Amino acid sequence: MNFGRADKGDYLILPFALFYFYTIFATAFHLPTLGRQELIHSSIVSWVGVFLCVMGLFLVLLSLVSFGRSFRIGIDEEHPDRLVTTGIFAYTRNPIYVGFGFVLLGEFLVLSNWILLLYMIAGMWLFQRQVLLEEACMSTRYGQPYLEYCKKVRRYL
């Protein structure tokens, strides 16, 4: 597993991540939180959220299997590897981000907390930002084969 250096400073700062996980567990186990108010009161919506979380985790798992030994975290310009276009990557160019997006949306639908809504919106924005950085790097590194892949396979869904 390689960690890219080019975008290492763009990752969420540890306190924000810890606060996010605390909010999830605190809401689930009725511990004190900043925002206890539920925005959506529907068991059907909650079950849709559970389904999205499971699908998101499944997409992340399929991504890791498809990546194989080429898995990277972030943009790693020092250790280029092959362009992965098979497995789940034949259907979406960014299945890990789609999976994490499903999880964020699912958690919001299950717990419907305004803090989780803000995290979901911020997460989606950060995913888009990171995808654009990675696409610029990939088009430089892999050239025409990557551009052809982009024409055949959607960025997200």
* CATH numbers and ranges of domains, the chain: 45-157 (1.20.120.1630)
Q: Is the pLDDT of residue 94 over 50?
A: yes
- What's the pLDDT score for residue 75? 66
Average pLDDT, stretch 149-156?
A: 97
Give the pair of three-digit tokens for residue 17: 């991540």
pLDDT over threshold 60, residue 2: no
Q: Which residues of 82-109 are buried (b: 16+ CB within 10 A; e: fewer)?
A: eebbeebbeebbbbbbbbbbbbbbbbbb
Q: Which residue has the higher pLDDT, 41 or 8?
A: 41
Predicted TM-score (pTM) of the model is 0.82
Confidence of residue 36 (pLDDT cuts 50, 70, 90): low
Question: Do 50 and 110 meet the contact criterion of CB atoms below 8 Å apart?
Answer: yes
Burial of 35 (0-12, 13-18, 19+ CB in 10 A): middle
